[in-house]
Amino acid sequence: MTGQVMRSATSAGANYEETRGAESRADFLHKSQLVLKELRETRYWLRLMHEVEMVKSDSEIIPNLIKENNELMNIIAKSIVTAKSR
């Protein structure tokens, strides 16, 4: 599962970097939607890791990562809404 988290999280980061060089609004939207998709997948794997207690149950590592991931999802989702409205 850690490999899946690494794959989806790094893909989200790479796709975010691609949004910074988007050639058009449509390109920006497409790449932003890919970022959001990868962040959703990352959240899934983090939740699963938390449920099966891959990290000590008293550790706040996974819940903190889930919280941060949710914050990133909110930021990207808002960026998508803003870009669509322009």
CATH code for the structural domain at 2-85: 1.20.1440.60
- 56 vs 2: which has the higher pLDDT: 2
Task: Give the whole-angstrom CA distance, residue 7 versus residue 20.
Answer: 20
Instruction: Report if pTM > 0.75.
Output: yes
Render pLDDT for 25-84 as a digit per residue (tens, 0 to 9): 999 999 999 999 999 999 999 999 988 877 776 789 999 999 999 999 999 999 999 999
Which pair of structure tokens corresponds to residue 17? Answer: 């970097």
Please state the rounded mean pLDDT for residues 14-27. Answer: 96
Residue 36 in contact with residue 77, Cβ under 8 Å?
Answer: yes
Torsion of CA 11, 12, 14, 15, to 10 degrees: 110
The domain spans of the chain are: 2-85
pLDDT confidence of residue 56: 74
